[in-house]
Structure 1
Amino acid sequence: MTAAAPTDSTRSMPELDAVLRELSEGERRWAATSSAERAALLDRVHAAVSAEAETWVRIASRIKLLPDGSPLVGEEWLSGPYALLTSLEVLTRTLRTLASGRGPLDGAKFGRAPGGRVSVPVLPLTAYDRLLLNGFSAEAWMPPRVDADTVRRRAGLGARHPERTAGIGLVLGAGNVTSIAPLDVLYELIAHNRVVVLKLNPVLGDLEPVYRRALAPLLEHGALRIVPGGGDVGGYLAHHPDVAHVHITGSLATHDSVAFGPGEEGRARKAAGTPLLDKPMTSELGGVSPVIVVPGAWSAADLRYQAEHIATQRLHNSGHNCIAAQVVLVSGDWPQREAFLGHLRDALRTAPARRAWYPGSAERLGDATHSYPRAEWQGSEGSRLLVEPGDGDDVSELATTEYFAPVLGVLTLPGRGAEFLDRAVETANRDLFGTLGANIVVDPATLKRLGRAFDHALAALRYGTIAVNAWTAVGFLTASAPWGAFPGHTVADARSGIGVVHNALLIDAPERTVVRGPFRPFPRSVVGGELALFPKPPWFVTTRSAAVTGRRLTELAQRPSWARVPAVFASAFRA
């Protein structure tokens, strides 16, 4: 739901004025709360979230029309309370490090990335990471010409000086993934030192009591207020003189409605570069995410597994993810192209049935079929769509429209090896809308042959998170990884957004996150020469034990203990 800009006839909302007065007082209390005290406060939030996890997942599953006992409930464990609990744990550790007089990156071993970039390891960080996510890694790449000493010195952001608060921040919450709004609240509070008014998305309105109980320590401390409501509430708060900053996770259309106003007048203001909003704004807005499939010599098992992998990237949360894959880039010169696309069709057809639950999904699916009448319906009751444009078809809508529904497109490009990879990177940068995340699938032998050409292709790919043999959602779920669009967007041309969130090590101005995973699951990974003991991931939509594994990972995040690890593995290896 959009947040409307105010007009001369906008009514006063005294109840919201009172909320902002409370937060003004809360800001004074927040300024007097030391880093050590904030860490203790986050410990209390962690306990409150733990107590609400079961109810949280039950209500989220009901909102998303998931039946009891469905393996897909695992999505709600991992992208709900688990994501928030792990972020709280890392942020608390960061605050305690700062309270001790050290920086969050002191002692970190930095690497080097192409273009003279400094790379900061963000996964694995702990012994639990190294065991539970064996074979996965992530690093934050800094912009060129930023040296290691600068990176280390600036880490900590607003938490370096907790007494220097920055007013009231408005968080306009997302309506698709249930951890996003609380995670955005934490980042405003800790990284930017702003107290927060959270305006919930009505789609997740039934979770309001859960959020209030889970975040009760912040509410009681005066650092947070939660308000329900529609676009009129969001617009009133966004343009209120007592609000210093606005952060939104949602669509570009909603962002522009807040910044420039709705309708033709808003579009005219955007064209003129004259926003109505008179304060800074950050955002995470999605886009059209690619999967670049680098041709190689794959086994039948590889073809099936990577087809399931890509189907997951589209079908997770029924396609209602800002980071859902939308366009698969494949080589027309790959001898296995047809076999791979056959497995992709099978994966889309046989993935567990579920309804497209987010408002407007049916209309967006209809738009896709209108633009591409030869598109293929897959799954039961025409629940998902595969679009493979033919010669002469206009691909611009597929490349520029974020469908936010189970629509997956395939574009074929010529070339093999580095030639194909470079052409795919150029196509993604030039033709696909947005810069939030890109995925690359490449087998180990081909990766080795590509060598430095692959690293340079990564550097050329202008996306905020790039995942190699993984889904970019792994970056979303990694608390210490920065999450956001590629830098350089403005309010007048926001694309996939401005700024980053999550980033629990509080790295200043990162350029991107690069995630790497195993091409094959265990045990085929080891047979193929990869040192990875990770089975089929619990976030795959075809993982039979996903709900149990998601619950057990959340229980481990609630109360970390090595005694809980065997149960996680027992479930994960029944995938």
Structure 2
Amino acid sequence: MSADMNATNVDSPSLDTLVEELQRGEETWAALSLVARRDLLAALSEATQKHAQEWVDVACSIKQLPPGSQLAGEEWISGPYALLTSVRALSSTLEALEAGRSPLDGFHISKAPGGRVAVRVLPHNVFDRLLLSGFRAEVWSKPGVTAQWMKKAAGFGQRTPKETGGVGVVLGAGNIFSIAPLDTLYELFAHNRVVLLKLNPITDPLQPVLEKVFARFIELGLLRIVTGGVDVGAAAVAHPGIGHVHITGSVKSHDVIVFGPGEEGQARKARGETLLDKPITSELGGVSPTIVVPGDWSERDLAYQAEHIVTQKLHNNGYNCIASQVLVLSDDWPQKETFLATLRKAFSNAPARPAYYPGSDDRCAAAVDLHPGVAQRTADGSRVLLEGVPSSGDAAFAEEYFAPVLTITSLPGLGREFLSRAVAFANQQLEGTLGANVVAHPKTIRELGSDFTGAIGDLHYGTVAVNAWTGVGYLTPLATWGAFPGHTLQDAQSGIGIVHNGLLLDGTERTVVHGPFSPFPRSLVNGEFTLSPRPPWFVTNRTAAVTGRLLTVFAGRASWAKLPAIFASALRG
């Protein structure tokens, strides 16, 4: 790329040039057959494999992780691994369309609560069953959508590849480094839209790596990657040659972009007047809950689920759009105090890491100031527990902290009574609808039966994870990712639209993920057949870096010969 493209400030003439290049690239994209587009995906996969180590090295540098840190596993799995698996999923979808088939052919489709249909997207093949044993995921349709309609509609823009969608701008995220590449792919393949990718300043050091990874797309004029500050992003979204905007960030950032800053922007929002006369999609995070359904747990169950919830909060130090922010417990659970003691210990003992994300320490301090007598800092002062927060109207329910702060509240009841109250609390009290986690013993799930399934259907979240973290939904390339549908620009909550969605499905509402309550071999005692040990995304996993690298190599070129090393590393974790 030329020097002006790589500059931190893109002035108006340079932006004009970039948009003109992309407009010519749109014509190139329209002329490419599905076979040629699959060839581009193959080139993307090869380049990602070639530069994966460089990607992870730069990511660890940005996040100030020392060489050899087990936490580098997060960067492997949420970086090149996530991109490689998504590339493979899109390639399979194109292959089906080339052959005149629906991308849904061969997938198990069943009924889901409320007149919905469920498409099983995990496991999909034998490798899924081995590497993610005990995990499963479904994409649920909106009520009233039929399986026949979904089969017919699957493929989105790739059903009419010559009908392109113009030039779009993607405003990249600064926390998880596969977000911007995956959003770029979705714009290209779901909507036939060429992309100006504006990186978040935190990720500017990744620009050279991403340009190597997407080299073929850049050569053909399908993608341009720029860096810079707010001025660059503002100029890009307002440019008349840009026909669509996709935003990843906070709802505050979203509202500044859409309505403008300060009191004038708030007044414009109240009137429903936007600064932009173009469609806008978004993924904006929110206040994610973890609901713990009371049951009879063993001491080892208590310890494992404490680690699990700590991971939901402290993966990437809490700088995740679906980091668990509010833990919902039952006041009447006999094991509540024992579990809380176990959780405090796990929260304090989790690996230390720098607060690399701007403003993190300030947000922690603000949480402490707003909760006098409730807030507890860990010994090193880097993390905050807000324990015993009343279950109505707290500031922690209304704003995403994006920091290592975990709020704990409780509700009365047991069984279906508690679960019903917890679902209502999550839907009505918490800001955002991106992801919700539910933890329940398999015996409790069996006892609740249809009441449990109905409760999952009643949660208004774009991804619901049962005995898993919603981050598994993010990593499932055939799953959808985004807020619960129905939000507007004036009340964006967790955003508008979806991404990922490797099958390019239409008419979707949510993804539902299930995982094992206990790791192997204790899972067998609880009536679950799974071979999964402690997952590599757990912050307590000692071999996460090695396992993450091996999984990434496998995602690039799957083979039976690579499985033994992965299993050996995973079992040591």
Q: TM-score, normalised by structure 1?
A: 0.97
The answer for the alignment partner of 2:6 in structure 1 is none
Equivalent of 2:420, from 419, 422, 426?
422
Q: Does residue 555 of structure 1 match 2:553?
A: yes
Q: Do the aligned residues in 1 keep the contact of 2:107 with 2:121 (CA within 8 Å)?
A: no
- What is aligned with 2:285? 286
Counterpart of 1:5? none
Give the aligned partner of residue 238 of structure 2.
239
Tell me the matched-pair count.
Answer: 565
1:380 deviation in Å?
A: 4.5
Alpha-carbon separation, structure 1, partners of 2:238 and 2:389: 47
Q: What is the distance in 1 between the residues matched to 2:147 and 2:355?
A: 46
- Give the 4+ runs in structure 1 shifted more than 3 A: 375-380
Percent of pairs with identical residues: 58
- Does the 8 Å contact 2:393/2:429 carry over to 1? no
Moved more, 75-84 or 91-100: 91-100
- Equivalent position SS for 1:488: coil
Which residue in the other structure is 2:27 paired with?
28
Q: Which one-letter code corresponds to 1:409 in the other structure?
A: T
Contact 1:71 1:546 in 2 (8 A): yes
Which residue in 2 is equivalent to 1:87?
A: 86
- 1:128 is aligned to 127
Deviations 1:80-128 (A, max 9, x none): 0000010001111111111111110123221111112110111111211
1:542–1:142 distance in 2 versus 1, CA, 3 Å: same
1:334 equivalent in structure 2 = 333
Which residue number in structure 2 is paired with residue 404 of structure 1?
Answer: 402
Distance in 2 separating the partners of 1:373 and 1:310: 24
Aligned in 2, Cα 1:288/1:528: closer, same or farther, shift over 3 Å? same
Q: Which runs of 5+ in 2 are unaligned?
A: 1-8
* Corresponding residue for residue 564 of structure 2: 566
Alignment gaps of 5+ in structure 1: 1-9
List aligned pairs for 1:131-280, cutoff 5 A: 131-280=130-279
Q: Which residue of 2 aligns with 1:295?
A: 294
- Residue 222 of structure 1: how far off its partner (Å): 1.2
SS in 2 for 1:445: helix
Q: Deviations over 1:304-326 (max 9, x none)?
A: 00000000000000110001000
Contact 1:348/1:378 (8 A) holds in 2: no
Q: Tell me the SS of whatever aligns to 1:146.
A: coil
Matched-pair contact (CA < 8 Å) for 1:418–1:450: yes
Query: Separation in 2 of the partners of 1:66 and 1:511?
Result: 37
Greater mean alpha carbon deviation, residues 105-114 or residues 373-382:
373-382
Q: Distance in 2 between matches of 1:394 and 1:430?
A: 10
Does residue 307 of structure 2 align to residue 308 of structure 1? Answer: yes
Q: Distance in 2 between matches of 1:373 and 1:258?
A: 34
What residue in structure 2 maps to residue 530 of structure 1? 528
Q: Which amino acid is 2:71 matched to?
A: L
CA distance in 2, matches of 1:71, 1:261: 42
CA shift, 1:527, in A, is 2.2
Residue 543 of structure 2 is matched in structure 1 by 545
Contact 2:481 2:500 in 1 (8 A): yes
Where 1:511 maps in the other structure, the secondary structure is strand
Report the 3-state secondary structure (helix = DSSP H, G, I; strand = E; otherwise coil) of the residue aligned with 1:242.
coil
Checking the alignment, whether the CA contact within 8 Å between 1:195 and 1:224 is kept in structure 2 is yes
Deviations 1:315-355 (A, max 9, x none): 00011000100000000000000000111100101111112
| Contact 2:249/2:285, CA 8 A, preserved across alignment | yes
Which residue number in structure 2 is paired with residue 468 of structure 1?
Answer: 466
Residue 4 of structure 1 aligns with which residue?
Answer: none
Q: Is the 8 A contact 1:481 1:503 kept in 2?
A: yes
| CA-to-aligned-CA distance 1:183-220 (integer Å, 9 cap, x gap) | 00000000010000000000011111001001111101
- Alignment map for 1:76-115 (pairs within 5 Å): 76-115=75-114
CA–CA separation in structure 1 for the residues paired with 2:330 and 2:39: 53
CA distance in structure 1 between the aligned counterparts of 2:524 and 2:296, rounded to whole angstroms: 17
Q: Distance in 2 between matches of 1:490 and 1:419?
A: 32
Displacement of 1:378 = 4.4
Amino acid at match of 2:35: A
Q: Secondary structure of the residue that 1:373 maps to in structure 2?
A: coil
User: Match of 1:3?
Assistant: none
| Structure 1 CA distance for aligned equivalents of residues 21 and 376 of structure 2 | 52
Could you tell me whether the CA contact under 8 Å between 1:372 and 1:389 is conserved in 2?
no
Q: State whether structure 2 residue 48 is matched by structure 1 residue 49.
A: yes
TM-score, normalization by structure 2: 0.97
